[in-house]
A and B are shown apart, each in its own frame.
Chain A
Amino acid sequence: MGAGHTHALYVHEHSVAHRLPAHVKIVATFAVTVLIATTPNRQALAFAGFAVLLATVARLSRIPARFLLARLVVVAPFLLAALFLPFVASGPRVEVLGVSVAEAGLWGGLGLAARALLGATASLLLVATTEVPELLRGLERLRVPALLTQIAAFMVRYLEVIVAEVTRQRRAMTARGYDPRWFWQLKPLAAGLGVLFVRSYERGERVHAAMLARGFTGQLPALVEERPTPRSAWLVALVVPGIAGLVRLLAGFGDLGIGGGVG
């Protein structure tokens, strides 16, 4: 499956979002995420607004809803924590469906769940419309230290190689009858991990030699010319955080009007 040259989170499509320069999208995503993260728990209206906004972006970027939902599973631990909050928090309690829960915990839980889901969706939209090399270049343009982007690049490059190595190792163990069921049978697995580490280390040395052979001096050279970003790209991308900011502002006013006395 997959188009071969893409990563698992990328959706090969042609849309405005796919065409935008990566660094512009990163800035827009970051801004939206900050807005989501700093929205107070009780502003349910704002969260609903964000959800509509992100759904619209997904639609325009031609990212299937099923694709997003399947990958949102990563926030499941947060949702679980959100589920427990109403029961473990202290303070005034309210009845929900006949169960007594802490009011602050209830809002806290809802806020946590909303922020986790919306934040993850925003990030997913970014990586679903941007290939990894573009993403890393975008980060570099935003002056993220080159060392960090290089580490990330090598991780992406060699992760599959190492996973393949683990798979081969497991197969070799299984082929000779290794089938761990209990804790004390894990020793060969641990030894295998050690071997894997040594192999990866040696691979690192070989890759470094290959880099030196082609004139590496300790700093990755610029491989593509930085084209100036057209203003229109910024305008298009920043429409999304712009609307998010507006939603947040309006929801805040609404709150003042309706529930100013609560809280």
Chain B
Amino acid sequence: MSETGQPALTLADVHFRYPDGTPALDGVGLSVAAGERVALIGPNGAGKTTLALHTNGLLRAERGTVTVAGLTLEAATLREIRRRVGFVFQNAEDQLFMATVRDDVAFGPANHGLAGAELEQRVEAALASLEIGHLAARAPHHLSGGERRRAALATVLALRPDVLVLDEPTAGLDPAGRRELITTLASLDVAQVIVTHDLPLVLELCPRTVLMDRGRIVADRPTTGLLSDADLLAAHRLELPYGLQLPEHP
């Protein structure tokens, strides 16, 4: 999506400690190309969500830099960075806070100055791209899990981001809802960082996988290679689901 071929997202030597002193990120470096889909996996408490929250400045690094499509994250660029990074939270209940789906989708673009017919078009386009135009007038708490997840996705797509960061997008979805979401994500022409424990999804959607543990990046490799390394997975409290067949090594 970025014009110049520069990475959509770059983190360089990012360090972060929670206020109580718990170290969460210990020198993380990661670069995601425009349009690339990258999976971020790792055991609970590895720092995946903490890393994700750094991509749009909801957490600020103690040391290191975050760059989104050439723009370095600092106080002056925070607003534009937050437009460029579409963050889909783990719990859609937290993401959808307005009275109707339509208002929720309009919230982001309106904050960035869109109004009137332009705003209306942007909202309609976002709803249409996820095929949820019929949900526009509904209240978020009356949606099904799958509908809610799509609505949450629409709220960030309406901002036309360069990177989507999704935290556990398939958690709690039924198989059909999960399938629809995977199809949707596959169809989106935007860089994606997908934080997940859903390894079949990783295999299907992401050519590249980053494995994190204890605040560090342990491995950053092509997905099939990384997932076929059973010892590596076991060492970091991961395993392939029973019966899952990996394709032959490329």
Beta-carbon contact of B141 and A222 below 8 Å = no
Beta-carbon contact of A214 and B99 below 8 Å = no
The yes or no answer to A16 lying at the interface (CB within 8 A) is no
Beta-carbon contact of B110 and A221 below 8 Å = yes
Given the known interface contacts A223-B106, A225-B116, the answer about A157 and B156 at a Cβ–Cβ threshold of 8 Å is: no
Which residues from B are CB-within-8-Å of A209?
53, 58, 89, 94
Cβ 8 A contact of A157, one of B82, B85, B87, B99:
B99
Beta-carbon contact of A207 and B97 below 8 Å = yes
A236 to B140, alpha carbons, bound, how many Å?
33
Which residues from B are CB-within-8-Å of A160?
141
| Chain B 183-222 near chain A by CB (<8 Å), digits 1 or 0 | 0000000000000000000000000000000000000000
Of all chain B residues, the one with the shortest Cβ separation from A215 is B111
Beta-carbon contact of A214 and B82 below 8 Å = yes
A214 to B165, alpha carbons, bound, how many Å?
13
List A residues 191-228 near B (Cβ within 8 Å).
203, 206-207, 209-217, 220-223, 225
Beta-carbon contact of A210 and B89 below 8 Å = yes
| Chain B 54-86 near chain A by CB (<8 Å), digits 1 or 0 | 001010000000000000000000010011010
The yes or no answer to A136 lying at the interface (CB within 8 A) is yes
Given the known interface contacts A133-B99, A207-B97, A214-B82, the answer about A161 and B111 at a Cβ–Cβ threshold of 8 Å is: no
A211 to B103, alpha carbons, bound, how many Å?
13
The yes or no answer to B108 lying at the interface (CB within 8 A) is yes
Which residues from B are CB-within-8-Å of A184?
none
Cβ 8 A contact of B111, one of A4, A210, A217:
A217
Which residue of A132, A206, A210, A214 has the most chain B CB atoms within 10 A of its CB atom? Answer: A214
Least Cβ distance of A2 to chain B in Å? 9
The yes or no answer to A181 lying at the interface (CB within 8 A) is no
Least Cβ distance of B86 to chain A in Å? 8
A131 to B90, alpha carbons, bound, how many Å?
29
Beta-carbon contact of A213 and B138 below 8 Å = no
The yes or no answer to B137 lying at the interface (CB within 8 A) is yes
A225 to B103, alpha carbons, bound, how many Å?
12
Beta-carbon contact of A4 and B138 below 8 Å = yes
Beta-carbon contact of A213 and B82 below 8 Å = yes
Cβ 8 A contact of B83, one of A132, A215, A221:
A215
The yes or no answer to A153 lying at the interface (CB within 8 A) is yes
A132 to B106, alpha carbons, bound, how many Å?
18
Beta-carbon contact of A221 and B97 below 8 Å = no
- The number of chain B residues touching the other chain, given as a range, is 35 or more
Beta-carbon contact of A215 and B112 below 8 Å = yes
A132 to B141, alpha carbons, bound, how many Å?
14
Of all chain B residues, the one with the shortest Cβ separation from A216 is B111
Cβ 8 A contact of A5, one of B87, B93, B97, B142:
B142
A160 to B102, alpha carbons, bound, how many Å?
19
Least Cβ distance of A209 to chain B in Å? 5
Which residues from A are CB-within-8-Å of B155?
214
Least Cβ distance of B54 to chain A in Å? 12
Of all chain B residues, the one with the shortest Cβ separation from A206 is B94
The yes or no answer to A52 lying at the interface (CB within 8 A) is no
Least Cβ distance of A217 to chain B in Å? 7
Cβ 8 A contact of A214, one of B91, B111, B141:
B111
Which residues from B are CB-within-8-Å of A157?
97-99, 139-141
Beta-carbon contact of B94 and A207 below 8 Å = yes
A160 to B89, alpha carbons, bound, how many Å?
20
A212 to B159, alpha carbons, bound, how many Å?
13
Beta-carbon contact of A156 and B87 below 8 Å = no
A220 to B156, alpha carbons, bound, how many Å?
17
The yes or no answer to B95 lying at the interface (CB within 8 A) is yes
Least Cβ distance of A6 to chain B in Å? 8
The yes or no answer to A154 lying at the interface (CB within 8 A) is yes
The yes or no answer to B107 lying at the interface (CB within 8 A) is yes
Of all chain B residues, the one with the shortest Cβ separation from A7 is B139
The yes or no answer to B228 lying at the interface (CB within 8 A) is no
Of all chain A residues, the one with the shortest Cβ separation from B97 is A207
B interface residues (Cβ-Cβ under 8 A, vs A): 53, 56, 58, 79, 82-83, 85, 87, 89, 91, 93-95, 97-100, 103, 106-108, 110-112, 115-116, 119, 137-142, 155-156, 159
Give 29 CB contacts A-B under 8 Å: A4-B139, A5-B137, A5-B138, A133-B99, A133-B103, A153-B99, A157-B99, A158-B97, A160-B141, A161-B93, A207-B97, A209-B94, A210-B94, A210-B97, A211-B107, A213-B56, A213-B82, A213-B85, A213-B87, A215-B108, A215-B159, A216-B107, A216-B111, A217-B79, A221-B106, A223-B98, A223-B107, A223-B119, A225-B116
Given A210-B87, A223-B110, A225-B116, output 12 extra A-B contacts at Cβ < 8 Å.
A4-B138, A5-B138, A157-B97, A157-B140, A206-B94, A210-B95, A213-B58, A214-B108, A214-B159, A215-B79, A221-B111, A222-B115
